[in-house]
Amino acid sequence: MAKAKTAYVCSDCGAEYPKWQGQCEACGAWNTLSAFVVQPAVKAAGAGGGREIGYAGAEASMVQPLASVAGEVERRHLIRIGELDRVLGGGLVEGSVVLVGGDPGIGKSTLLLQTLAALGDRLAGLYVSGEESLAQIAARGHRLGLELAPLKALAETCVERILEHAVAEKPRVLVIDSIQTIWTETLPAAPGSVSQVRESAARLVRFAKQTGTSVFLVGHVTKEGGIAGPRVLEHMVDAVLYFEGEVGSRFRVLRAFKNRFGAVNELGVFAMGDKGLREVPNPSSIFLTGHQGATPGSAVMVTREGTRPLLVEVQALVDQSNLGNPRRVALGLEQNRLAMLLAVLHRHGGAAVFDQDVFVNVVGGIRVQETAADLPVLLAVLSSFRDRALPEKTVAFGEVGLSGEVRPVPNGEERLKEAAHHGFRRAIVPMANAPKKSQRIGELEILGVERLREAIDACG
């Protein structure tokens, strides 16, 4: 039998090296290499004797013309938790592997236990926990008011024994909580190490693809907010979902960072209560504050997350600075882009804030990553700087260029319809996003602008 050898794997990017070194040459990270035992390859049947034992239902691999399989559509099952179905791209795909990450206590285990309960008798599920006892899982189920009769659970951390039980029980949905606690007998490394996480995940992915079982993997996160373990883990799975939430807030945001079966950056919003997570079908209502009237430093924008437009309030505070270098703080936005926008505001808007502290916050803890926030951010900053509120029931969106032009953003018509649906009366948008035939959608008056100065003049 061939002797196993040791390689060194980068926990950030998954690059392998024959010996240890301080820096990973692939990604440039320091002190991220850890030992990984490479097992000798097992010869397939007919090529020297040995073979790997497969799972029931596994099909022999064969070469097929793509034309014969192009018409096949993946089979989906609705979980009947609307926000989760939306983030997954329209339901749970058979044989898919979904990685769910998030901070401790954010609600990952609660969401997946509610998922198995929602599937009930329609799809048999197995909840495997490496962190809690069966009594703790049952207690949580009773506390959430779930129907426990169709639910099955297993407290185990060895991946070989987990797969033995899975082959015997034949679940359609398998939950592993968490992948960092799972280990394989073939490696001497400790559970949670790069090699254990990588090999255990590979076996679970292989099981999912060969049997058509949908697998959810719960992943711990590091202090930087990324999934703990090797970066290759996120490449192995079909979808990566992150659970986010502000400290002290009952609202939770589930975002898809990778999805082979749906839209990336799709957003699902939940509210945590005494009966677990409850979906919020109209998240725009929680991202808008209930001001009785117009407030200086506040602007409403329409952002787009995945396939859904959302109304979000952007707040700005501009105050005289006593520091040599005034502060620029952005929560929910990219800080470097804020500095660039302030320079554009000075050059093309006539507002000099170089001696002012500028704080910008997106209400509700949501993170806006698209350039459609440029125009409302500048309008909110200018409103606070002048201490003059924007016209009431006004919404804005648009990208602002370095020369002061207001550029169009995708899906402008859908954004305008969402604003009209929530009762807004006026919209300041790029000229290219304004409707060509009519300047109104219902009660919403649409004002198209081409320059930043035009948008400022439109606000009075």
Q: What is the reported pLDDT for 70?
A: 65
**DSSP annotation string for 192-232:** TSHHHHHHHHHHHHHHHHHHT-EEEEEE-B-TTSSBSS-TH
Q: Of 145, 146, 103, 105, which Cα lies nearest the Cα of 125?
A: 146
Q: Where are the alpha helices (DSSP H) in 369-435?
A: 374-386, 412-421
State in Å, rounded, how far the first CA of the chain is from the last one. 81
pLDDT of 4 > 70? The answer is no
Cβ-based burial of 3 (10 A; exposed 0-12, middle 13-18, buried ≥19): exposed
The full set of domain ranges for the chain reads 5-38, 76-281, 286-458
Instruction: Report the top-level CATH class of 286-458.
Output: alpha beta
Mean pLDDT is lowest, of 46-50, 386-390, 422-426, for 46-50
| Mean pLDDT, all residues of the chain | 87
Please give the share of the chain, as a percent, with pLDDT higher than 90: 60
State which of 56-65, 242-251, 329-338, 363-372 shows the largest mean pLDDT. Answer: 329-338
How do beta strands 356-362 and 328-331 pair? parallel
Q: State the Cα–Cα distance between residues 104 and 60, nearest whole angstrom.
A: 41
State which of 237-251, 275-289, 368-382 shows the largest mean pLDDT. Answer: 368-382
pLDDT of 39 > 70? The answer is no
Mean pLDDT is lowest, of 27-36, 163-172, 253-262, 380-389, for 27-36
Q: What is the reported pLDDT for 160?
A: 96
Q: What is the reported pLDDT for 50?
A: 39
The predicted model scores a pTM of 0.80
The model's confidence at residue 1, banded by pLDDT at 50, 70 and 90, is: very low
Q: What is the reported pLDDT for 369?
A: 87
Q: What is the reported pLDDT for 200?
A: 94
For 346-355, what is the mean pLDDT? 92
pLDDT of 54 > 80? The answer is no
Residue type, 102: G
Mean pLDDT is lowest, of 40-54, 295-309, 396-410, for 40-54
Q: What is the reported pLDDT for 47?
A: 40
pLDDT: which is higher, 34 or 384: 384
pLDDT of 123 > 90? The answer is yes
Residues 136-174 pLDDT 10s: 999 999 999 999 999 999 999 999 999 999 999 999 999
Q: What angle do CA 298, 299, 302 make, to 5 degrees?
A: 145
Cβ-based burial of 338 (10 A; exposed 0-12, middle 13-18, buried ≥19): buried
Q: What is the reported pLDDT for 248?
A: 72
Cβ-based burial of 55 (10 A; exposed 0-12, middle 13-18, buried ≥19): middle
pLDDT of 133 > 70? The answer is yes
**CATH architecture, domain defined by 76-281:** 3-Layer(aba) Sandwich (3.40)
Residues 182-197 pLDDT 10s: 999 988 878 888 888 9
pLDDT: which is higher, 72 or 342: 342
Q: Of 456, 457, 340, 352, which Cα lies nearest the Cα of 402?
A: 340
pLDDT of 289 > 90? The answer is no
pLDDT: which is higher, 15 or 402: 402
pLDDT: which is higher, 267 or 460: 267
Q: What is the reported pLDDT for 53?
A: 43
For 406-414, what is the mean pLDDT? 94
For 206-228, what is the mean pLDDT? 88
Q: What is the CA radius of gyration of the chain?
A: 26
Q: What is the reported pLDDT for 26?
A: 82
Please give the share of the chain, as a percent, with pLDDT higher than 70: 90
The model's confidence at residue 17, banded by pLDDT at 50, 70 and 90, is: confident
Cα torsion at 186, 190, 191, 193 (round to 10°)?
-100
